[in-house]
Chains A and B, each alone.
Chain A
């Protein structure tokens, strides 16, 4: 579809593909709005995005360029002929970004043979990124070679591996390469999207040519390599066979504890070879199993587009050690860290929290006092107090009792629905979720264009926005504009909107924070450090989430930002990781070593009313913010939807294709293609075990266990 065919009139234009924008876009399209959804980037999910290692490198470069580039002055004369009488333009910033202080560091040797000292790459970064294009294509060659060899070696290995081999094909076919790596359900839908988004795709196609060429080379290289397998591959296969042994041990009766991990020494070049196996989130978040996002995914049936794993454990830092917090009934039963009596006291207190509102007399006098005091008054042991306050209520010494109880209850309510912790983690990263909503929007006729955004809003006579001028200089009419707050100009934003920020750190580490015999997905909270009031969130993702290759872990630290992310997170890093400056750490130090890190600050506008100054039909929505969950985003999306179309149902389940009545040709064609794709997907997306799925599975009692606390 060329630009000429692109309709110029919409009910709503959505700018930015963060979660909130995508949910709103889907909800509007679902009830028949004509939606145009633009994103200035060549990837989905805006500040919520997830990247592989290569994509992350490109993003770092892009952000650093954007921070330096100067905004070209806006001249409205260019667009005069597009305007009608009385219309004026509000220009939108093109380079502004909600992200700042992006710092990448590498703590690995470049290549296996190198004897180069551990170096801080920060200073060299701009140099390295200049050289990037060349490096990238080379890397692509190398890594696809590795992949295909591994696939050969592991033909009999699990489905997962099979999927990945499929995926490498996908990538070489050149679908938006930053998005579709490592996914198993890519394509019916994104084909449709890419039709709409062709313009945005040009660059990707160029890339894909590179990849395709290099695949050709790969085969030759492979032949020559066959006689002399290189050392890296051998080692990788060893790890795999280890995994295989575990897989065969499905007979639980024979479960053997995994041998203590021999920590592999990684180099940067080895890591880069595995670039596709990373899924690094800019704004990782977890879902409460009974939270509003899970309910929405189920009620709208969008759950069929995504997959989840349950977060497997909650850790805490206690007496200088990282240990597991017993929070479900099964955990408490199995815990060796607490005595029998403590178990009873803990369970008793948690049961009380489930219906604390009914026992106001129990906490009344503590309501405004710190939660910790209330816990003390309940004669709970110090250990149990720590578990409840820090790990379960995720609060601090200052949190008051009523808030502490509310948080404890929220945590407990979600336990037992899908697993032993209250949380779900989206496979391939939480940056996948906005795309699931885009998909629903596209099924209902939404148009997607990447690498394009609005240059300016067109304001009509009565201070209403009548449309936009896009970055290609086209005039698009619309009734509503919904946009990511970070994209708005100062003129539209309230004064306090840039006051808050969140500090984030992403770390690739060589082992888990607390090693045991399973692949864990971990959540942990640390008490606030200098100047902060809220705890620091720690998430650790094992390779089982596809966040990283085997043998590595990804840790995300998030806290509210007081200074730069680097400064804010330093105390937590010191606590969790081996000191980076020490080349030969203490042998008794069992903490993971950081191999690579990225720090960044994101603007956090979740706390303010963004729409004080906006025209009535322009809505700004917040970015991800520092919170652990998605609650704010879903609530905001609902509110915006209610404002735009009061009384309409928010994302009802897509109707059964059989129940749709087609009465005019055009609509039939439209709906038809959408729903065909829909139906075909359903079979492929059936997930076992942990994924929360459609009703039928819930009915069978397979996926859902029901809350044990209620």
Chain B
């Protein structure tokens, strides 16, 4: 028809595109080899910055080039005035922003930004915070940005309270956000520390957090993020690290301890062994021989144990337990008395047992609406076990059966839980 636009056909377009790509490829390769040459020759100049900028704006994941730029800036640092340097770094920040626009999840970019901010003479941390806000508005789950934000917050001296508010606003716009929930769990103990439990959170604040998590999982019980946060809230009264059991074997010349929770000796705590009042020197190892978190730890005594009575004392900060190997005995132990079935209830503190009951009630309500939701079932079981395992034994077992049917992939995990 008359007047109709004539447009290139697909084949023509493709050919044009292919040529275009080829041309770009040549330029890219030429620039790259030039850059490597310059780097080899330790040329730290404006041209190098320009060349790398060209490549990086097309491909911001090219680590080596970021490193080269770092070298260039460090070289500049030695020979420029503060103002010149500041200008260079300001330019670099805008360049980074342009790169991040194209690739907001580039490790290289964010990392380089940290370098710039730490190296530049007069960093503007508040502006960086705004930048983070902007990027988290585009994508509230960009963990690269969350990471960078924490880096900035430390230096911009933002109060934990303000950050807590920030997580609240992010959660209310979309609560499927692990980064926000996790950040909350780190901030709460700082803002509302519980004087009774180091690392804990005040009860009244906790109740509000429980409510928030409930709001999330009643809205969408299949969303894991709130359940994980809920679990963190429940598990916060983790029992104190203590020595639950000391065992001594005369023949093996060995001391074994069982801790109240898995820990890593040397990192989480230090344990000393005293044999008849004299400190022994030696290494702690796990039964598996690894050096990892463990409930059980072994210590080999260097001194031989003769047939007489010996007293072994194992001590840590704030707690100790001793065990007497009687004359002629092969072995001896000192175990904490534990009422059967209450072993796991220690996971949650008595102080919040009212809260636990309330949480159980809420979950039971949700269970009636969502009888097949694994997160509901799992949480109910955890709560029952925390409150009174014996009272709820029958129900717990039934729930185990259901949850295994609903989520067969984790059958063994649930079986372990039921033990």
Contact partners of A291 in chain B: CB under 8 A = none
Given contacts A334-B172, A347-B219, contact A340 B163 (CB under 8 A): no
Q: Is A1 an interface residue (CB 8 A)?
A: no
**Cβ–Cβ < 8 Å partners of B166 in chain A:** 252-253
Interfacial chain A residues near B215, Cβ < 8 Å = 333-334, 340, 343
Does B339 reach chain A (CB closer than 8 Å)? Answer: no
B369–A252 contact, CB under 8 A?
A: no
Please provide the chain A residues from 407 to 425 with a CB less than 8 Å away from any CB of chain B in the complex. Answer: none
Of A81-89, A627-635, A657-665, the stretch lying at the interface with chain B is A657-665
B54 at the interface (CB under 8 A from A): no
Interface residues of A in 690-710 (CB under 8 A from B): 701-702
Given contacts A253-B169, A254-B162, A330-B175, contact A344 B6 (CB under 8 A): no
Contact of B2 among A32, A332, A343, A444 (CB under 8 A): A32
Instruction: Name the residue on B nearest A420 (C-beta).
Output: B173
A348:B1 contact, CB within 8 angstroms: no
- Do A34 and B174 form a contact, CB below 8 Å, given A251-B133, A344-B219? no
Chain A residue numbers with a CB within 8 Å of B214 are 340
Task: Give residues 244-292 of B contacting A (CB, 8 Å).
Answer: none
Measured between beta carbons, the chain B residues less than 8 angstroms from A341 are 218, 365, 369
Q: Across the interface, name the chain A residue whose C-beta is closest to B126.
A: A251
Within 8 A of A (CB), among B1-38: 1-8, 13
Contacts of B2 in A (CB 8 A): 32, 34
Docked-complex contact A31 and B4, CB < 8 angstroms: yes
- Does A217 touch B at the CB level, under 8 Å? no
Contact A330 B174 (CB under 8 A): yes
* Contact present for A344 and B221 (CB under 8 Å): yes
The answer to whether residues A253 and B163 also contact, given A330-B174, A341-B369 and a CB cut-off of 8 A, is yes
Within 8 Å CB of A253, what residues of B?
Answer: 158, 162-163, 165-166, 169
Docked complex Cα distance between A233 and B174 (Å): 41
Structural contact, A667 and B3, CB atoms closer than 8 A = yes
Which residues of B sit under 8 angstroms from A344, Cβ to Cβ? Answer: 218-219, 221, 366, 369-370
In the assembled complex, how far is the CB of residue B220 from the closest CB belonging to chain A, in whole angstroms? Answer: 6
CB atoms of A343 and B169 under 8 A apart:
no
Q: Knowing A251-B130, A333-B216 touch, does A34 contact B3 (C-beta < 8 A)? A: yes
Contact A255:B218 (CB < 8 A) given known A344-B370, A660-B7, A663-B6: no
The chain B residue with its CB closest to the CB of A31 is B4
| CB of B296, distance to nearest CB on chain A (Å) | 43
The interface centre, meaning the residue of B4, B13, B218 with most chain A CB atoms within 10 A of its CB, is B218
Contact call A655/B219, Cβ cutoff below 8 A: no
Pairwise interchain contact B7-A655, C-beta atoms closer than 8 A: yes
Q: Is A18 an interface residue (CB 8 A)?
A: no
CB of A329 within 8 A of CB of B220, answer: yes
Complex interface residues of chain B between 164 and 219 (CB less than 8 A to chain A)? 165-166, 169-170, 172-175, 214-216, 218-219
> Is there an interface contact between B219 and A660, defined as CB atoms closer than 8 Å?
no
Query: In the complex the two chains form, what is the Cα distance from A340 to B368 in whole Å?
Result: 13
Which residues 302-346 of A have a CB within 8 angstroms of B? Answer: 329-330, 332-334, 340-341, 343-345
Task: Tell me which residues from 115 to 167 in chain B have a Cβ below 8 Å from any Cβ of chain A.
Answer: 129-130, 133, 138-139, 158, 162-163, 165-166
Give the CA-CA distance A635 to B114 in the complex, in Å.
Answer: 54
Chain A proximity of B223: nearest CB distance (Å): 9
| B378 contacts the other chain (CB 8 A) | no
Report Cα–Cα, A45/B106, bound state, in Å.
Answer: 47
Q: Would you call A250 an interface residue if the criterion is a C-beta within 8 Å of the partner chain's C-beta atoms?
A: yes
Residue interface bits B377-400, CB-to-A below 8 A is 1, else 0: 000000000000000000000000
**Is B233 part of the contact surface with A, judged by Cβ < 8 Å?**
no
B362 is an interface residue with CB less than 8 A from chain A: yes
Considering the chains assembled together, what is the distance between the CA atoms of A540 and B302 in angstroms? 84
Tell whether, in the assembled complex, residue B169 and residue A333 are in contact, meaning their CB atoms are under 8 Å apart: no
Q: In this complex, what residue of A is CB-closest to B175?
A: A333
In the complex, whether A579 has a CB less than 8 A from a CB of chain B is: no
Residues of B within 8 A of A34 (CB): 2-3
Question: Which A residue sits closest to B165, measured CB to CB?
Answer: A253
Q: Which residues of B contact A340 (CB under 8 A)?
A: 214-215, 218, 362, 365-366
Contacts of B172 in A (CB 8 A): 330, 333-334
Contact with A345, one of B7, B133, B216, B369 (Cβ below 8 angstroms)? B369
Q: In the bound complex, how far is the Cα of B1 from the Cα of A340, in angstroms?
A: 63
Q: Are A252 and B133 in contact (CB under 8 A)?
A: yes
Q: How far is the CA of A343 from the CA of B221 in the complex (A)?
A: 11
Q: Is the CB of A251 within 8 A of B369?
A: no
The CB with the most chain A CB atoms within 10 A, among B4, B162, B219, B220, is that of B219
Say yes or no: B220 contacts A32, CB within 8 Å.
no
Q: Which of B162, B165, B219 contacts A329 (CB 8 A)?
A: B219
Q: Check A434 for interface membership: any CB of B closer than 8 A.
A: no
Of B138, B170, B174, which contacts A702 at CB under 8 A?
B138
B216 contacts across to A, CB distance below 8 A: 333
CA distance A330 to B169 in the complex (A): 11
Q: Which residues of B contact A667 (CB under 8 A)?
A: 3
A445 contacts B by Cβ under 8 Å: yes
Contacting B13 at CB < 8 Å: which of A250, A345, A659?
A659
* In-complex Cβ contact of B219 among A343, A659, A661, A671 (8 A): A343
Q: Are B139 and A701 in contact (CB under 8 A)?
A: yes
Specify which of B163, B175, B215, B221 lies most central, judged by the most chain A CB atoms within 10 Å of its CB.
B215
Of all chain A residues, which has the CB nearest B162? A253
Q: Whose C-beta in chain A lies nearest to the C-beta of B13?
A: A659
| A residues in contact with B6, CB < 8 Å | 660-663
Q: Which of B129, B219, B369 contacts A333, CB < 8 Å?
A: B219
CA distance A634 to B165 in the complex (A): 44
- 18 inter-chain pairs at a CB distance below 8 angstroms, sorted by A residue, are A31-B1, A32-B3, A33-B1, A34-B3, A251-B129, A251-B133, A252-B133, A253-B166, A333-B220, A334-B172, A340-B365, A661-B6, A661-B7, A663-B6, A667-B3, A671-B5, A701-B138, A702-B138
| A-B contact sample (11 more), CB < 8 A, given A34-B3, A343-B219 | A253-B162, A253-B163, A253-B166, A329-B174, A329-B220, A333-B215, A333-B219, A347-B218, A655-B5, A660-B7, A660-B8
Query: What 5 pairs between A and B have smallest CB-CB spacing?
Result: A32-B4, A253-B162, A253-B166, A32-B3, A661-B6
